[in-house]
Structure 1
Amino acid sequence: EEQLKNVAALSDKLGWSRPPLPFRATCSPSSLSFAVAREVVEDREEQQALLRLDDAAARLAREGRYLERRSRYLAAIAAIKDALGGHLYCNDK
């Protein structure tokens, strides 16, 4: 859950907002793992590999590792953007 919040906050900071994940504390681990794979994982090969896993615990563990990597990537992009005065692309004003 913490990884999801980090990715969402960093994506929002970069202006790459996505629709909020329909997370509810009452979701089963299986439902949550499928929702994360479907809505959060952007790499299609990784997404398909996750959806093929039969075990929700294994899927959630792999998603946790993916979200950690994604958080580090987004944090690096945000740091670069901040260092460039908020402009990430040549055509940003």
Structure 2
Amino acid sequence: MTAPVAGSSDPSAICSANQQAKRQSDPPVLRVGVRDAEHPYGFAEFAVDPGRHPGDMTRIHVTYYNIITPTGELSVFEKFTLQRRRSDGGHSHH
């Protein structure tokens, strides 16, 4: 799932980012672009879990926050996790 382009109100920027991500995807995955017109500004927080041992799963936990007031009050808009197997486990396809 692709998060909104932070700070962008241009739908073509979001579409372009989604198209580029689709070309780079292996294997293909479903991507959905969303936008909150009421709160157009925000940011994403990333927490990385590299896994415990070679060949384990690496995960990136993403939380996207809307900035909902002029003073910077935040609201969680979306959470998702990206994951893939580490390439150091001897099962790499290089």
Please give the range of the TM-score, normalised by the shorter of the 2 chains.
under 0.3
Greater relative contact order (Cα < 8 A, sep 6+): 1
Bigger share in strand: 2
TM-score (norm 1): 0.26
Bigger share in helix: 1
TM-score (norm 2): 0.25
